[in-house]
Amino acid sequence: MVITKNYIQKLEEYYRFIFSKELKNELICQLGEEPTPFEYSDQDLWEQSRKIVLSYYRER
């Protein structure tokens, strides 16, 4: 499982704000491809995206 635009939209609904293009690109760059030979589970994807979002807004 990889992150998609629909998945990012669900994250935006969960966090209740719109992500910047920069953050969306960061999520897609880091989670848009499977880490060969492994596969992200839904829980992995959620947790990794949560860390990226929180890190992004801490830096601001």
Q: Say whether 24 sits in a helix, a strand or coil.
A: helix
Region class of 10: left (phi > 0), else alpha (psi between -120 and 50), else beta:
alpha
Q: What is residue 50's predicted lDDT score, i.e. its pLDDT? A: 96
How many structural domains does the chain have? 1
pLDDT at position 25 is 97
Question: Cα 49 to chain center, whole Å?
Answer: 3
pTM above 0.85, yes or no: yes
Q: Would you write out the chain's pLDDT as a tens digit for each of its 60 residues?
A: 999 999 999 999 999 999 999 999 999 999 999 888 889 999 999 999 999 999 999 987
Among left, alpha and beta (phi > 0; psi -120 to 50; other), residue 16 is left
Q: What is the pLDDT of residue 60?
A: 78
- Round to whole Å and give the CA distance between 35 and 18: 27
Provide the pLDDT for residue 16: 95
Write out the residue range of the structural domain in which residue 13 sits. Answer: 5-58
Token pair of 54 as six digits = 């929180």
